[in-house]
Amino acid sequence: MTTPPTEAGLRRLPCNLVDRAIEAALAEDLGLAGDITTDATVPPDATASAFIVAQQRGVVSGLPLAEAAFRALNASVIFKAEITDGMLITRGKSLAHISGNARAILTAERVALNFLGRMSGIATLTRAYVNQVVGTSARIVDTRKTTPGLRAIEKYAVRCGGGHNHRSGLFDAVLIKDNHIIAAGGPLAAMQAARSHAGHMVRIEIEVDTLDQLREILPLSPDVILLDNMSRDELREAVALNEGRTLLEASGGVDLNSVRAIAETGVDIISVGALTHSAPVLDLGLDFQKSSA
């Protein structure tokens, strides 16, 4: 299960998702009175031209959202991306050139940069983890620890960084944790309940904290086993016990320092909450060229 951090063939962000996210963000920033500064100071027919410039090196994600922000204000604004999502940009380079109605560009600037900066921040951090595990068979995946309301967008940013996605939510896959096992009356009962209730297109993962639990659960043939907070030695032994039968996911205590050693234990999946809950923004700016009426 090799996961080369590819810059091509990225699965795309649905259009309606982009439109809705931009609409909500603009509504929040514009209120009912709009951009009162720009409306007061910039003539309606003034034009402008600007570059989005990287203030630091990183992986780009969110260009379709940035474009949509400007065009939502004025459909005739021209947005020319100079790079594509998933690609690396270096400091001082331009991500895109924007030209057209000056009011639209000034008013949409912050919403465009807020999306682009955050998403690129996630992609950049993801890429750092992915780079650490190059050559191993481990995939770096995200978690449900995403910003409320932005999960699909953040999961796309993880893909831009070369990572993969864990389940989308509580609805599309089963993940049986310790409390579910207790409530169901043991791992066997929990697995049977899940198999009986879930459709045949739903994967079932189950969490174990110890190697003893792993031994108890392996014969139940879940699709994936989550090895929670295990030491590297335990992970290595888990891989050995598994004999390639089921996918093994490691989680807990993963950071940029530890991730390579964890990958080298032979686990298939390493899930990292920090990708989405603690990635700093990628610093980007909008540099205007001389505007002309």
Catalytic residues, by residue number, are 110, 145, 177, 207, 228
Interaction residues for its own copies, span 87-106 (CB under 8 A): 102, 106
Spatial CA neighbour of 41 closest among 111, 100, 106, 110: 106
The answer to whether residue 68 forms part of the interface with its own copies (CB under 8 A) is no
Q: How far is the CB of 56 from its own copies (least distance, A)?
A: 12
Question: Please, which of residues 14-33 interact with its own copies by CB under 8 A?
Answer: 14-17, 21, 23-33
Closest approach of Cβ 136 to its own copies, in Å? 15
Residue placing its CB nearer to its own copies in the complex, 27 or 233: 27
Residue 171 and residue 152: Cα distance in Å, rounded? 14
Question: Minimum distance between the CB of residue 152 and its own copies, rounded to whole angstroms?
Answer: 4
Shortest distance (Å) from residue 94 CB to its own copies: 18
Does 169 help bind its own copies (rule: CB under 8 A)? yes
CB 10 within 8 A of CB 159: yes
Does 285 bind its own copies (CB under 8 A)? Our answer is: no
Kindly give, in sequence order, each residue whose CB lies less than 8 Å from that of residue 78, ignoring residues fewer than 6 positions away. Answer: 98, 99, 100
Nearest to 132 by CA among 271, 264, 291: 264
Token digits for 71?
Answer: 């065009």
Residues 218-277 that bind its own copies (CB under 8 A): 223-224, 247, 249, 268-269, 273-274, 277
Instruction: List the 94-101 sheet strands across, edge first.
Output: 78-81, 94-101, 47-54, 284-288
With CA atoms as reference, report the closest residue to 22 among 83, 112, 101: 112
Is residue 71 a contact point for its own copies (CB under 8 A)?
no
Distance, CA of 233 to CA of 235 (rounded, Å): 5
Residue closer to its own copies (CB basis): 201 or 233: 201
Interacting stretch for its own copies, rule CB under 8 A, among 80-88, 149-157, 213-221, 232-240? 149-157
Query: Can you tell me which of 81, 83, 88, 173 binds its own copies, judged by CB under 8 A?
Result: 173
Footprint on residues 179-218 left by its own copies (CB under 8 A): 179-184, 190, 193-203, 205
Alpha-carbon distances, residue 90 vs 83, 274, 281 (angstroms): 11, 23, 15
- Type of residue numbered 211: L
